[in-house]
Every structure is written in C-alpha cells, then in structure tokens.
C-alpha cells in the first residue's frame, strides 16, 4: 500500500488520542518518516500490522478500526484540497459511486503510471430505490473500510445519512481473476424522503421521422468507430471497426476476442464476459496480439514488432447480451505515431486523441524552442559573467596602483586634482644584499623570491591602512595619511615596518639558505599626491619627505628600522609608546642634517599582536626576534665568503701557470675549511662540491 494510507492513519491517531500516542507507536515499531511518505509503496502486511496496533491502542476491534479509518479518510482528503473536485464529480450518489473507479484510474495513471492494484466500484439501482454497490479488490478484509468510506462520503458530499450493509462476499479463485474479491453492498437512506439518484429524463422511445432510417447499419458504425469491438457472451466478435477489419483481416468467419486482444488494465481482469462485467466502471487498456497488416512489410524491427494499444470503455448493450468496447488508439505524440506506424486518419474525426497528438507536438516544439531559448539565455549569462570577470580584472589592472578611494572617483568619470598633505608618514625599504643575491640565484628564483616578499607586504599594507606607492625590484615606498588623512599615520607605518621585519625572516634565500633581510627608513612631513600618466595611470607621492625617507633607508642597518625626528614627534601624539634608540644626525640629498632614531619596539603591543598571531608563547613580546643581530652577522660573513669565492674564481681565470693554479687551490681549501666550521658542513661555495670521505673539494684533490 501507499504511504498516503499511513499518513491518513497517523492523522486518525493524532485526532483521537494526540501526537504522543503516534510517537509511541512509531518508536515501538520502528516507523520512520518514510513510513508516511505519500508516494512510497509498502507491503500490505506491514500496513495491516500497524492498523492492528492502532486498533488495540484505540480499544477498537479490527473491523471497527477499519470502518473508522474509512470515515476519516474522507475527512482527511477533503481537508487537504480534494473537497472541490469531489463536489464536482456528480450530482447524485449513484453517479458519484460509478465515477470513483475513474478517479482511481486517473490518479494511478498520473502519478504511478498504472502500476497500482486499485479497487473497482460498480453501482446498480434496485427496484426499491436502494443501491447495489459492487466492490472488486485484490485485497481481502477491507469490506468494513468501504462501509465507513461510502457512508462518510455520502454524508459530506450530499448531506444524506445512509445505511451500508454487506450482503455478499466471495472470491474468484479460478482463471485470470484468481484472488479477486467481490463484495456486494446495499445502500439505503435513513430518511425516506432522500433519494440516492435522480430520475432519468431520457424518454423510453425516440420519435423518429418516417423518412429517416430507424437504425444505423453496421457498415456505417464501423466507419464512425474504426477501432470498436462488439462481442457476445461467448466472447465471439459480432462486428468491429474498419481499422481492425483492414489491419487484422477480420472477415466473416467467427473470431474469438482472445485471438486479437489481451487486457493490460485493469490488471488481472479475466478475459471473460463475467470478468469484464465486474469492471464496467474502469477504463480498459488492451493490446492487439497481432501485428497490423501495414507493419508486416516494414524492415525496421522496432516498428515491425510494435503492437497497437486501445483504450476505452466497456458497455453492456441489448439487455446485457452483448458488450461494446468503444475506444481509441492509445497515442499521444507524433513520435508514437512514427514508432507504431499509425496515422491520424486511422482515428475517428471526432476522436480527441487527434487534438492531443497535435497539441503534444505543438507543446514539444514549444519546449524545444524554450530549451534553445534557455540555452541561449544561459550562454548569455555565462558570457555576461565572463565579461564582468574580465571587466573586473581589467579594472583591477588599470587601478592596481591607485588607492580605492581615488579609483572610485575615476570610475565615475570625475577628474582628480593633485593635493597637498601636511602630515604623512613615508616608509622606504630595500634589500641590502640584493646585488649579491642576484649573483647567486637565477632570474626565475629571483622572481619567485620577490613575489613571496610582495605578498607579505600587501597583507600588512591593507591591515594598517597604508598605500603602496612604488615597488621597483627590491625597493618599496609605502605611505600612510594619503589620500585620506589619518591621525595615527606615524604609529601605523611604524607598526607596519616591524611586521615586515618579522615576516621577511620566514623567507629563505635559495642556495644561500639564510633568512631574507630588509632595511627600512621612515620619515614624516609634507607631501604632494596625485595621478600621473594617461594610458597607464599611477598614484604618485612626491616631496622632501620621500627623499628624506629614502636617504634614511640607505643609512639604516640590515634588519633595522631608522626613523626621522619628525616621525618621533608624530609618535608622541599617539596613544602608543615606542622604544627608540638614538642614532644621531645624517645628511640628506639636500645637504641638510636629519636627526634619526632606531625603532626597537612598541611598548604597549607585542610583536604577536601587531602581526595578528594568537598561537605563540605570551611570555615573550617577540621583539628580540627582529632585533637579533645574528642574522645580520651571518649575512656579513656570507658576503665576505662570496667575495673570496669571486676573488678565487678571478684568480683561476687569470692564472696562466701551474703555480698560480696551486695558489688558487690552496685558497679554495682554506675557504672550504672555514665554511665547514662555521656553517655546519653545508656547501656554499658556488658549485665546488664536498667529498663524502675527506670533505675536500675535487679541485683540492687535483693538487
């Protein structure tokens, strides 16, 4: 059964005893959320087991529980959107009950593609104006459920109280209908003035003009209904439509119905007069057993083996002695017409399937057009996204060297004039041993090294609200206080400088294998800032303050920050307190003397707070790491070693006798021994390799 049945059962329990009882049942019997999933199928045994549990919990017999369930089912579906359609089914009880089977079939076809074993209802009128309801089902034991279902439906839809009693019940255990249960109910009104059906307004006889033939002959009917079949109680075909006559070669000889068709639905319906009579309110779908005549000469096997399917209604005629199957070919698309080699002309002119096929084709064409349009829209969206991405990248490249505030003004089409700023701090840094590094590593490695360095710079430039003005090889010029004035420009630029000293130590120079060192000069004062260039615009800052900062940087020591006295004065106006070390006067390019100080630390913030690290030992403020002279000493010693190597190589290149070569070899041996003692046996001799046994170079071994 479907999970929808369980959903109604759950609602029944909650309405009578509350959510707690259902939660208890679900917990004890391991019923998860899928158990009430309306479109999911479950075994009948599982459903009946839970119904039995609910009956015990509600102190009801199984029969009473099923009857209560039937009544609650009507209440549930009407409260969940089905009330309008149910009220539009029929205007009396008789016709409503005869339409219920069609509703089952429609829902099965729409949602489950005809896979359900659905029940069937057929209603007749008794002589005493009561109704005889035939109920056919593959499931046994649901008679009391039908009683509750019918009684509640009639009350809710027609406001009639009825008595529903079970008169007969038997099962067909033979033939195709084996296991099909047939129950017969009597339905009568409680109030005598209520009617279960409306009187028929059809006259007993039509008044036909004398000049019109009274009956339609078989030939005309065969043309009007090209796929109809009329058969008797012996299941012999009396007459059929023109399409079947031509395509199946049905002639004057008696033909059994079972020779030409098989029933697809209702499922398990026996191909007998009695079996079909029990499903008169159901839509029948049958398949021709034989291949139609026109397909026998087709070479395509998929068409040659295809079978025509007919769908329609079975009707008893001539007092129940004959059965008429009025139908149409089950085709809904042009593709199906092609696959089965069927033509629209094979269908009756009034057959709505013609309109369905054309409508479906129109819908298919519209869907194809919509699909192409959707693809075009998606491509346009993709192109727009790519265009936006390229525009964004172009904008980033165009305005990369411009502060965001000024770039925003330019994008709006406004002109930006140069401005003077009185309080701006400028930082200039370079790599003191850059020339030596370029002689020891290749161009590609230099580019990788500088790329790492620039990434370190940019992260902290953003953090401390500074602006990168120039970056050229190993030279960086950074300002704070332009284009937007900042009160803490001096402290921001000093904190930035200490962050840079720490971060660059993480970068190892290839081959030399020492941490990178920079030196920094900082000055504060008046500058002029503006845009330079037309096709490639740059933000430029000029003035004496920049020149002083560059000069100070050249006087700074490797791994140190040297600041001017004007910067010191600006720092005194901030909340931070800095530890400075006097350095004395230096001469600038304008031959003026500037008093300078080495920046040691920020007394109110640790180095870890400046760089934003929380995973370090807080017992140390970290400034000892950037004020360590050991790294600078290693670089000085390395500079000496490399200079000696270059001298030796120069001697080797210039020597023209054996004696000069031996002198050079002795110098190399001395250099290697010195490096071995100082640098822990690591070869830094620009390519002269160590010998694993004697730790002497191959050049020395030659001697």
Whether residue 668 sits in one domain with residue 589: no
* Averaged pLDDT, groups of 10, the chain, 703 residues long: 85 91 89 79 87 91 93 90 81 87 72 69 90 89 92 93 92 59 92 84 45 70 92 93 90 87 88 88 90 87 89 90 94 86 85 82 80 89 89 69 74 80 92 88 88 85 87 85 90 93 89 89 92 78 91 92 93 86 86 89 89 76 83 88 79 60 68 62 41 38 32
Q: Are residues 471 and 556 in the same domain?
A: yes
Contacts of 252 (CB under 8 A, 6+ apart): none
Which residues are registered as beta bridge partners of 508? 515
Q: Are residues 640 and 614 in the same domain?
A: no
pLDDT for position 678: 58
pLDDT at residue 170, as a whole number: 84
Q: Clarify whether residues 645 and 622 are in a common domain.
A: no
> Is residue 223 situated within a structural domain?
yes
Looking at the structure, tell me whether residues 459 and 589 fall in a common domain: yes
Which domain-ending residue is among 598, 627, 656?
627
Rounded alpha-carbon distances, angstroms, from residue 386 to 379, 382, 390, 392, 394:
10, 6, 6, 10, 12
pLDDT in the model for residue 61: 93
| Residue that terminates a domain, selected from 325, 350, 375 | 350
- Say what the pLDDT of residue 350 is: 85
* Residue 37 confidence (pLDDT): 77
Residue 345: give its domain's CATH number. Answer: 3.30.450.260
**Structural domain range at position 309:** 218-350
Whether residues 308 and 457 share a domain: the answer is no
Assess whether 500 and 642 both reside in one domain.
no
Report yes or no on 49 lying in a domain: no
- Taking a C-beta distance cutoff of 8 angstroms, is the pair 424, 525 a contact? yes
In a domain, 560, yes or no: yes
- Look at residue 314 and tell me if it is in a domain: yes
- Using DSSP, state whether 180 is helix, strand or coil: strand
The sign of the dihedral angle between the CA atoms of 334, 336, 341, 347 is negative
User: How far apart (Å, rounded) are the C-alpha atoms in residues 82 and 171?
Assistant: 32
Decide: residue 688, CB within 10 A, 0-12 exposed, 13-18 middle, 19+ buried.
middle
Residues 606 and 647 in one domain: no
Say yes or no: 588 and 646 in one domain.
no
Q: State which of 589, 611, 627 marks the end of a domain.
A: 627
| Strands annotated E in 33-157 | 120-125, 131-137
CATH number for position 594:
3.30.70.1230
Domain count, the chain: 3
Residue 172: enclosing H or E segment and its boundaries? strand 162-172
Q: What is the pLDDT of residue 213?
A: 52
Please check whether residue 603 is in contact with residue 579, taking contact to mean a CB–CB distance below 8 angstroms: yes
In a domain, 247, yes or no: yes
Are 267 and 323 in the same domain? yes
119 and 135 in contact (C-beta within 8 Å)? yes
Q: Is 447 exposed, middle or buried (0-12, 13-18, 19+ CB in 10 A)?
A: exposed
453 and 598 belong to one structural domain: yes
Are residues 499 and 643 located together in one domain of the fold? no
């Amino acid at each position: 059964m479907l999970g929808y049945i369980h959903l109604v059962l759950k609602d029944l329990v909650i309405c009578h005893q509350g959510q707690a009882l259902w939660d208890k049942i679900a917990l004890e019997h391991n019923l998860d959320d899928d158990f009430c999933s309306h479109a999911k199928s479950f075994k009948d045994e599982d459903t009946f087991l839970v119904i039995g549990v609910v009956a015990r919990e509600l102190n009801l017999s199984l029969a009473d529980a099923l009857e209560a369930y039937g009544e609650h089912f009507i209440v549930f579906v009407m409260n969940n959107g089905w009330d309008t359609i149910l009220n539009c089914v029929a205007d009396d009880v008789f016709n409503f009950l005869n339409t219920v089977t069609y509703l089952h079939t429609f829902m099965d076809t729409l949602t489950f593609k005809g896979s359900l074993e659905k029940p069937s209802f057929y209603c007749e009128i008794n002589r005493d104006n009561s109704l005889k309801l035939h109920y056919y089902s593959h499931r046994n034991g649901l008679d009391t459920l039908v009683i509750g279902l019918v009684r509640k439906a009639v009350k809710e839809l027609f406001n009639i109280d009825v008595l529903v009693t079970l008169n007969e019940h038997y099962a067909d255990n033979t033939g195709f209908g084996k296991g099909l249960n047939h129950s017969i109910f009597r339905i009568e009104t409680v109030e005598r003035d209520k009617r279960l059906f409306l009187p028929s307004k059809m006259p007993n006889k039509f008044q036909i003009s004398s000049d019109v033939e009274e009956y339609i002959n078989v030939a005309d009917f065969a043309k009007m209904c090209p796929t109809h079949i009329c058969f008797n109680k012996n299941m012999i075909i009396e007459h059929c439509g023109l399409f079947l006559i031509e395509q199946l070669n049905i002639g004057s000889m008696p033909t059994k119905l079972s020779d030409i068709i098989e029933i697809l639905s209702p499922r398990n319906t026996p191909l007998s007069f009695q079996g079909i009579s029990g499903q008169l309110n159901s839509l029948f779908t049958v398949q021709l057993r034989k291949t139609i005549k026109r397909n026998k000469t087709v070479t395509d096997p998929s068409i040659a083996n295809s079978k025509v399917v007919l769908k329609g209604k079975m009707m008893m005629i001539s007092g129940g002695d004959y059965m008429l199957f009025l139908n149409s070919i089950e085709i809904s698309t042009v593709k199906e017409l092609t696959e089965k080699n069927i033509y629209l002309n094979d269908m009756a002119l009034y057959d709505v399937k013609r309109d369905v096929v054309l409508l479906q084709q129109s819908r298919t064409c519209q869907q194809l057009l919509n699909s192409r349009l959707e693809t075009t829209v998606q491509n346009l969206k993709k192109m727009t996204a790519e265009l936006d991405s390229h525009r964004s990248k172009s904008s980033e490249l165009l305005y990369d060297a411009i502060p965001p505030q000024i770039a925003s003004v330019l994008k709006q089409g406004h002109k930006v004039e140069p401005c003077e700023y009185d309080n701006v701090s400028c930082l200039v840094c370079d790599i003191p041993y850059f020339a030596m590094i370029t002689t020891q590593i290749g161009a590609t490695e230099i580019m990788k090294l500088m790329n790492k360095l620039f990434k370190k710079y940019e992260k902290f430039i953003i953090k401390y609200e500074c602006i990168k003005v120039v970056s050229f090889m190993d030279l960086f010029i950074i300002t704070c206080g332009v284009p937007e004035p900042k009160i803490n420009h001096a402290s921001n630029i000093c904190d930035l400088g200490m962050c840079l000293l720490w971060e660059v130590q993480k970068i190892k120079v290839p081959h030399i294998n020492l941490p990178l060192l920079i030196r920094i000069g900082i000055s504060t004062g008046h500058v002029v800032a503006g845009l330079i260039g037309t096709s490639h615009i740059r933000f430029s800052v000029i003035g004496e303050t920049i020149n002083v900062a560059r000069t100070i940087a050249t006087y700074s020591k490797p791994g140190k920050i040297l600041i001017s006295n004007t910067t010191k004065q600006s720092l005194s106006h901030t909340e931070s307190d800095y530890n400075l070390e006097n350095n004395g006067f230096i001469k600038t390019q304008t031959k003026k003397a500037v008093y300078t100080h080495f920046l040691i630390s920020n007394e109110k913030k640790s180095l870890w707070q400046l760089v934003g690290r929380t995973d370090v030992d807080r017992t140390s403020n970290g400034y000892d790491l950037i004020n360590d002279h050991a790294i600078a000493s290693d670089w000085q010693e390395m500079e000496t070693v490399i200079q000696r190597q270059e001298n030796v190589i120069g001697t080797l290149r210039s020597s023209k006798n054996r004696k000069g070569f031996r002198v050079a070899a002795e110098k190399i041996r001395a250099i290697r021994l010195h490096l071995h003692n100082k640098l822990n046996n690591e070869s830094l001799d620009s390519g002269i390799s160590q010998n694993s046994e004697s730790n002497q170079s191959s050049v020395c071994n030659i001697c």
